[in-house]
A and B are shown apart, each in its own frame.
Chain A
């Protein structure tokens, strides 16, 4: 199957319509289970007490913030290099989702920072680079709005997305490269997770729930965008006839 198999919008819409309810259902189910475990079943942390429960929303949001950007940059690269018709669409559709997750990570981080660190916000390398990520998403979305011609807008936005991709490894390794107030990674690190298994499993369930939610939302937004394009094309045809 070639990469251009799903370039046919009808074929893509059919497949997306079939996957979407499953992804949405899975997200709802995992979120329900994950939240129950995180808020009720998981024992309090030895150091942070019940405040640690914020982690179960904060960490998956932060992971998704970076994942969405990698998806955005990847789709942008495919759009620029291979001119796949769905690539720009996928990139455009993923940006607001990524911005939402980044916002959630920033807000929950702030709410967590106040009781634990003693401050809502500091300008350390981790927090600052995530704030830059948020602005990159906003800039990307603004660029789409600013340029009328969707071909040109897609190209300009894709270049911005690729430039901003440099920020993703900076976010990930900021806590290792520089002194930061934010602690180093607990899960994705060389010598295995530093989270007790009773807390790690609910965290992974929440992460999976967020990922399934991303898939459902992405497909919805892509189909919506395709429909909008069709409406625009129909209107144009009507006016010219």
Chain B
């Protein structure tokens, strides 16, 4: 074996070991790396043990169609976040991003309340990876080819 070959194997082997170690660390910390829980994941967590109102977490999903209600004071907004399997009721007082609407992806940060609702302190909009001109979107809708705002 030439010295070059030996160096090649050493570098290759080192990279392989390091990549494996990194993969194991990432898998171990998966719980901390996810930015938000889906309503299904949240339901599974609550089954295992109730989530204290002290604990701050983020939930993400779609704003359920027809679920948005504004309170009489005009500031508090109620909506349901769904992943089409489970649903979470969200309560929020504050400014919503421009992209917020029914059917839109959102990520809400806050805590679970005793009444089962999620009290959000911040709501972020999440958009999907599709980009197209408005005319194309309108044409697709007209032709009945629209896939919806989400994947």
Residues of A whose CB lies within 8 Å of any CB of B are 42-48, 52, 55, 77, 80-82, 115-119, 122-125, 162-163, 165-166, 170, 177-181, 183-186, 189, 194-196, 198-199
Contact = CB atoms under 8 A, between A and B. Distances in A.
A46 B22 contact: no
Interface in B1-18: 4, 7-8, 11, 14-15, 18
9 contacts: A46-B132, A48-B131, A118-B123, A162-B11, A177-B26, A178-B30, A184-B129, A184-B151, A186-B130
Given A47-B149, A116-B125, A181-B124, A81 B132 contact: no
Contacts of B124: 117-119, 122, 181
B142 interface: no
A170 B27 CA distance: 12
B4 A82 contact: yes
A109 B97 CA distance: 16
Contact of B134 (A44, A124, A181): A44
Contacts, number: 119
Shortest beta-carbon contacts, A-B, top 6: A118-B97, A46-B137, A43-B133, A196-B132, A124-B35, A186-B129
Contacts of B143: none
B98 interface: yes
Contacts of A195: 130-132
Contacts of B34: 125, 178-179
A81 B125 contact: no
B117 interface: no
Contacts of A42: 133
Contacts of A186: 129-131
